A and B are shown apart, each in its own frame.
Chain A
Amino acid sequence: MAQENANVIDQPEVLTPRMVTIEISGKTYEVPEGITVIKALWYTGQEVVRGAGCLGGFCGACATYYRTKDDPKVKTCLACQTAVQDGMSFTMMPPFPARKATYDIQKLQDPKQDLFNLYPEAPLCRNCNACTEACPQKIDVREGVWKAVFGDFKGVSEMFMDCVMCGMCTPVCIADIAPNLVALYVSRAQGAHFTEKPKGLETRIHEIENGRFNEEWNHILKMNEKELVDHCATVK
């Protein structure tokens, strides 16, 4: 149907599609500028099984190391959320064998103290900040590790809500800490042990168990379709 020309967004990358040169795990390829790192892998004919999950920036499966032209700094990104640029060089991060402590969250007696048994390396943080620099979600990871050790579990749980568990903070840690796993333990402990039990929820569970809505259910489930449609219309 007619579309007024006035309502068209110009896109330089589409108007003048440009091929750029990139390097994937040491090999050189030409790909269209601006596609995501994952799409660049597909474009070069590579199947991706390990390294792709949600494709939406939430699962952390696509942790990737990259460098841009003439910059020695190796950076990190999520491959499904990052556009390629000319001269970029990248490699996906293989799974890293970090140790995860196992615990029964409900049976913890003293979660703040237990942290030191489960993750004894956590207090050995040397403040190097490498974890923070590695985080593609821009979490102040180092600060989080310190907060955990000093028992500010609430602070940690708020900071790590954005954590996609990509694990990129782990291989860089000089103290062999897996900050994301520490934060996960701390957040769960905060939720299970240090957060108020919601009273309204308890009330509702009791109401249901005690059959408070039974009469209404009986009434509704006996209705024919027409009656039900009319009844639904009364819900405002």
Chain B
Amino acid sequence: MDIHALQQIVHKTRDARRKQTLPKFSPADRDQLIKKYHPDSRESAYRPIRFGPNAGEKTVVELATLLEGDSLIGEDVDLTPHYTTDVLVIGGGGAGCAAALHAHGAGAKVILATKLRLGDSNSVMAQGGMQISVAPEDSPVTHFLDTLKGGHMKNDHQLLKVMVEEGPAIAKWLIGLGVLFDRQADGNLHVKKGGGSSKPRLLTCSDYTGLEIMRVLKDEVINQKIQLLEFCAAVELLSDEGGKCSGAIFKDLDNHRYVVVAAKTVILATGGIGRLHIQGFPTSNHYGATGDGLCLSYRMGAALAHVDTFQYHPSGAVYPEQLIGALVTEGIRSEGGHLVNAKGERFVNELDTRDVVSSSIIRECEEGRGIRTMSGRVGVWLDTPLLDAEHGPGTVEKHFPAMMLQFERFGIDISKDPVLIYPTLHYQNGGVKIDTNSETNVGNLFVAGEASGGLHGRNRLMGNSLLDLMVFGKRSGLIAASRAASMPQGRLTVKHLERFRANAKKHGSLSGVISPMILPAYTRKAG
């Protein structure tokens, strides 16, 4: 059937649905729903990691294979450094830029190396906003409790406390750099309510929050003349005699040569894992989100936390085919957009946490109340025109210009037509375990941002990631800089590789792949 004909059910039931209030599920019902329908609960997708610091723990097959992969680097590699620095930042997203700016500000010599261009990352795509408790009726403690509840009580309390308490100072820093957050008429920061939060707490820059923050941070990194190595992908870390981190080896993607950087401290800010397409899911992530930081740190002996849980954002585009997996911001649901099945019914409180909403969408589809596209995808409707009906014509266009444009390019006007959505692989809830200094159990190796784990527990609340990046980017930068000031450069070796390979042999073998992956293999092979 024609898509417009199928959409009629959404238009027809709109007025009746507007009068409805949907209760949230009871804790027991939520648990049951997640257990039955959340992709994290599919046991067949998991296997234990065979060796290394997390031996015996389960993670998804795609990640386990990479963690047990071999390095591109041989033990006889030439380690004469091409560059020497105090602080080496790996990754040019939000966490990397924040870390580099703070380390530089603290007087350290900084090199920022990144796989693609500076800024090409998940961070530019953040649309929904950044959680910071600035409203009078809100508090860091409430922010803490909301996040804990969202994370199934598994969040590291110390990390979380640091994040919520340092949030307001971060907002001030960003404003000082020229970030244009949305304001109320009285000049105060405008706050929106996000899924799973009890108070409005999302700071936004229209629906371009990540883009606006990244435009400014990138510009600032360039203004501060921080040394950049673009199109350089980290392929191995370096360790001194004591096993502490002392630099990294990169592959220059332009000429395929190795670049060796000697550094007193290293901050990994390589982001998430979406491009591994776990369980075959489409993803909202950028091209380079291949979990490289996890493989690099794991080989060095850094422990990981919560790598058995991932976030499937409830609303990834299912139609048109060109936008598969692209994010349809949670902002639409925050402003009251309904989720509607093929029968025109709502089936979940749209502002419940992401894992609950995703599970319930999957349930609708598995039980036959979804809408199928001819390319074999299935989804439910997100009633975007409802926003104009509720808050006046022009609302969608005014509040979600980025999304309007994205769909308009394919002839779809989301202020008039509902969009078809299904969960998309969005975020890596866990990552390399860090302490409140952002340091791992490997000395002088810091990890910040999505590559790190513990803070978000088993499910991240929307808007908490941008804050995580800035807070732990800052902490890692400041601490790595002060550490570097008081110590000599460690020796450059790849001794940890010998250890890793020997350990693999003891447990059978390496998985047969080379990791990190660097870029997903989308190029079609001949034939």
Binding site for B on A (CB under 8 A): 1-4, 6-11, 13-15, 34-36, 39, 42-50, 52-59, 61, 81-83, 100, 102-106, 137-138, 157, 161-165, 184, 187-192, 195-205, 208, 213, 216-217, 220-221, 225, 228-229, 231-233, 235-236
Contact = CB atoms under 8 A, between A and B. Distances in A.
Given A204-B134, A205-B169, A6 B1 contact: yes
B180 A196 contact: no
29 contacts: A7-B6, A8-B1, A10-B2, A14-B321, A49-B253, A53-B121, A54-B122, A54-B124, A55-B286, A58-B211, A59-B120, A81-B322, A104-B223, A106-B176, A161-B401, A187-B180, A187-B215, A188-B178, A189-B178, A190-B180, A195-B180, A201-B134, A201-B168, A201-B172, A213-B140, A225-B153, A232-B149, A235-B145, A235-B198
B370 A162 contact: no
A102 B222 contact: yes
Contact of A191 (B145, B168, B178, B210): B178
A114 to B, nearest CB: 13
B144 interface: yes
Interface residues of B, number: 93
Contact of B405 (A42, A137, A208): A137
A222 to B, nearest CB: 11
B231 A49 contact: yes
B231 A197 contact: no
A13 B375 CA distance: 9
A164 B180 contact: no
B509 interface: no
A29 to B, nearest CB: 11
A212 to B, nearest CB: 8
Contacts of B524: 42-45
Given A7-B6, A195-B180, A198-B189, A220 B144 contact: yes
Contact of B368 (A3, A35, A199): A3
A157 B284 CA distance: 27
B185 to A, nearest CB: 11
Contact of A52 (B140, B178, B211, B287): B287
B507 interface: no
A56 B526 CA distance: 27
B371 A192 contact: no
Contact of B175 (A58, A197, A233): A197
Given A9-B373, A56-B286, A201-B189, A34 B322 contact: yes
B179 A3 contact: no
Given A35-B322, A49-B253, A57-B405, 9 more contacts: A8-B373, A14-B374, A48-B523, A49-B519, A106-B177, A161-B206, A187-B178, A199-B187, A217-B141
Interface string B160-176: 01000100110110011
A56 B175 contact: no
A150 B378 CA distance: 52
Contacts of A102: 222-223, 225
B124 A59 contact: yes
